[in-house]
Chain A
Amino acid sequence: MGKSIIDKIWEKHVVHREEGKPDLMYIDLHLVHEVTSPQAFSGLRMKNRKVRRPDKTFATVDHNIPTDNRKVINDPVALNQMTTLEKNCLEFGIPLAGLDSPEQGIVHVIGPELGLTQPGMTIVCGDSHTSTHGAFGSIAFGIGTSEVEHVLATQTLWQSKPKTLKLEINGELKKGVTAKDVILYIIAKNGIGFGTGHIIEYCGETIAKMSMEERMTICNMSIEGGAKAGLVSPDETTFAYLQGRKYAPDGAEFAHAVKNWKELVSDSDAQYDKTIQIDAADIAPMVSWGTNPSMTSKVNEQIPKLDECKNELEQKSLSRALEYMGLQEGQKIEDIQIQHVFIGSCTNSRLEDLKQAAEIIRGKKVHPHVRALVVPGSQQVKKQAEADGLDLIFKQAGFEWRESGCSMCLSMNNDIVPNGEHCASTSNRNFEGRQGSGARTHLVSPLMAAAAAIYGHFVDVGALLSAETVH
């Protein structure tokens, strides 16, 4: 029986295997941020333990930092968390891209950007969106703080091997349909728990044609379908992205690495526990209308009706979600009025995302009832976007142009959506209160968010782009 890329990477990382126990897995890269690490470092200190491989650990601050004025941090508890990370990194010898660093950014944006993320690796971070790094053909997953401590101390984790899921997407994407729409469509169609206990391999011609940034968007939201991780086999697109990055191998080492990376493909007769086929042509620009990412529809559809629910539990969830969101069953998605637009987060804050949004916005104005902000994923993204003049396009349209961080994806800092107001957000979670107490989040692509900023409600960006091409 052939092996999948998931089997191959897993087997290469087993340090210790014993009947009746999970495998002891080696971890190649451990990313650390300020929110889920302080208790782990305290644990080490209490037991007088060292960090085993500071050279395989990299830290940054992203979750609760301000994105307006970075010099002034008014929240003393947040400030304490940031300075605690600085102290911990200093004490344990861990490299840190701090608030003043030109390499600072959202942990899942800077890992790939700096070339830390590489094919064939096992990568962990105390953050569920670690699945992003799977875009490079690595097994990357989120862990809790106890596991952060365990990796710091031992560079390993006890893990039972998850099941495997092959998710194949073929066909041409329609105009205005992005990677974000693809993953939202997958979750809407298969449910919020479809991936639980599995690692997903995304494959097929649609994925093969995607850029690294698009693949990252897809892998990023694997967790929203419940999956442990999601990955894509590395190919020429992957190698080209990595070449020349700061921590990627260079010269002869790069050629040698590529030779090894090319072996990271699933055998043609590989077996999977589950297989899902998706037709790219069926996907439209998507908008979430509920309180979890599976509560999502195509922009030209309507919110489902209560009597269309499969069972009582689903009906209760729908009814509760509509009440929280202040929406009606059967309501047209395009009729939902928007007061806020957030372009950012580890899902959609990279250069291509900003470029796409800017194309929609160029020469237009943000709707008078809308407050819109762009939060680049990293300082490097910000710098490049400014070099390309994107900041001016956004600012002239009436967007706020911010410093890099997680910002309004989880609103741990001051970037909050007020109670009862609707936000078109390029982030990954529309849970109750995620963007602020009583905030109503709609997950969309950067294109859809940009269009909503101009019109003040959702519009089919596919139709918008087609119309513009005609004129």
Chain B
Amino acid sequence: MSGFKTLQGKAAAMDRANVDTDQIIPKQFLKRIEKTGFGQYLFYDWRFTKEGLPNQEFELNKAENQGASILIANENFGCGSSREHAPWALGDYGFKVIIAPSFADIFHQNCLKNGLLPITLPAETVDYLLQRAKNQPYDLKVDLQNGIIEDEYNFSASFTINEYWKKMLINGWDEIEITLQLETSISNFEEKRFAVQ
């Protein structure tokens, strides 16, 4: 996985609460055995009409949101199913950052494992961003190293992310490789745990 330090990009607003992973990637697309190619199915039932045509009302189909790499969402984004196909689809579509007042736990974790940066900001800050991005092109600059997010209207906010995950994202490291270096600790743990039982 490639590393991530800063990103300047277009932000799309999706002002809906409790967006679940069933909406992000509907179940009929979970049968593939690859990690790639899910972007075309992202938000499928919202993005397309029953006839399979783009739904012009849907946020991501609006002209100002074409080419967006940052998604501004509302509370409890990514709730429900643990399907990692959700971040795969968001990433494959072109998103690199998701901003929301809160995220569901499993989805949050799944984002971090796929180079997708979930940023939690206070509700009023997210509301400002949502209003800015609604109905017009809006650019944001995200600096992961320093934990700063800025726009061209002198807005600036800081965000924090667990240092461990930050390092993983910035370096794009293979987490399993890191864990395997602790092989002795794991073996010792197993020896102790299963000796008692």
Contacts A84-B33, A150-B176: A15 and B105 contacting too (C-beta < 8 A)? no
Flag if B22 contacts A20 (CB, 8 Å): no
Flag if B33 contacts A156 (CB, 8 Å): no
Looking at the complex, which one of B26, B76, B105, B175 makes contact with A158 (CB distance below 8 Å)? B175
Looking at the complex, which one of B50, B74, B110 makes contact with A146 (CB distance below 8 Å)? B110
A193–B102 CA distance with the chains assembled, in angstroms? 9
Flag if B162 contacts A15 (CB, 8 Å): no
A211 part of interface (Cβ distance < 8 Å): no
Contacts A16-B185, A144-B110: A38 and B33 contacting too (C-beta < 8 A)? yes
Flag if B182 contacts A15 (CB, 8 Å): yes
A128 part of interface (Cβ distance < 8 Å): yes
A64 part of interface (Cβ distance < 8 Å): yes
Flag if A431 contacts B20 (CB, 8 Å): yes
Flag if B31 contacts A16 (CB, 8 Å): no
Flag if A154 contacts B45 (CB, 8 Å): no
A42–B110 CA distance with the chains assembled, in angstroms? 17
Closest to B81 in A: A128
Closest to B179 in A: A154
B53 part of interface (Cβ distance < 8 Å): no
A43–B31 CA distance with the chains assembled, in angstroms? 17
Residues of A close to B104: CB separation below 8 A: 193, 196, 226
Flag if B162 contacts A317 (CB, 8 Å): no
CB distance from B50 to the nearest CB of A (A): 7
B55 part of interface (Cβ distance < 8 Å): no
Residues of A close to B75: CB separation below 8 A: 193, 313
B6 part of interface (Cβ distance < 8 Å): no
A127 part of interface (Cβ distance < 8 Å): yes
Flag if A24 contacts B22 (CB, 8 Å): no
A166 part of interface (Cβ distance < 8 Å): no
Per-residue B-contact encoding for A69-80, CB less than 8 Å = 1, 0 else: 000000101101
A265–B23 CA distance with the chains assembled, in angstroms? 39
Per-residue A-contact encoding for B131-170, CB less than 8 Å = 1, 0 else: 0000000000000000000000000000000111000000
Per-residue A-contact encoding for B100-113, CB less than 8 Å = 1, 0 else: 00101110011001
Looking at the complex, which one of A42, A158, A429 makes contact with B33 (CB distance below 8 Å)? A42
Which positions 83-128 of chain B face chain A at CB distance < 8 Å? 83-84, 87, 102, 104-106, 109-110, 113-114
B195 part of interface (Cβ distance < 8 Å): no
Contacts A49-B176, A150-B175: A77 and B31 contacting too (C-beta < 8 A)? yes
Closest to B175 in A: A150
A83–B186 CA distance with the chains assembled, in angstroms? 32
A47–B178 CA distance with the chains assembled, in angstroms? 14
Contacts A193-B79, A437-B45: A15 and B189 contacting too (C-beta < 8 A)? yes
Residues of B close to A260: CB separation below 8 A: 197
Flag if B76 contacts A77 (CB, 8 Å): no
Contacts A143-B106, A193-B102: A36 and B84 contacting too (C-beta < 8 A)? yes
Contacts A21-B164, A84-B33, A317-B17: A226 and B179 contacting too (C-beta < 8 A)? no
CB distance from B67 to the nearest CB of A (A): 27
Contacts A193-B76, A410-B27: A317 and B18 contacting too (C-beta < 8 A)? yes
Residues of B close to A12: CB separation below 8 A: 193
Closest to A52 in B: B186
A84–B30 CA distance with the chains assembled, in angstroms? 14
Residues of B close to A158: CB separation below 8 A: 164, 175, 179
Residues of B close to A228: CB separation below 8 A: 105
A384 part of interface (Cβ distance < 8 Å): no
A-B contact pairs, 12 of them (CB 8 A): A20-B164, A26-B190, A39-B34, A127-B81, A144-B109, A153-B176, A196-B76, A228-B105, A313-B75, A433-B22, A433-B23, A434-B22
A interface residue numbers (CB < 8 A to B): 12, 15-16, 20-22, 24, 26, 35-36, 38-39, 42, 47, 49, 52, 63-64, 75, 77-78, 80-81, 84, 126-128, 141-147, 149-150, 153-156, 158, 160, 162, 192-193, 196-197, 223, 226, 228, 256-257, 260, 292, 313-314, 316-317, 320, 410-412, 419, 429, 431-434, 437-438
The 6 closest A-B pairs by CB, nearest first: A144-B84, A146-B113, A38-B33, A144-B110, A142-B82, A145-B84
B interface residue numbers (CB < 8 A to A): 15-18, 20, 22-23, 26-28, 30-35, 45, 50, 74-76, 79-84, 87, 102, 104-106, 109-110, 113-114, 162-164, 174-176, 179-180, 182, 185-186, 189-190, 193, 197
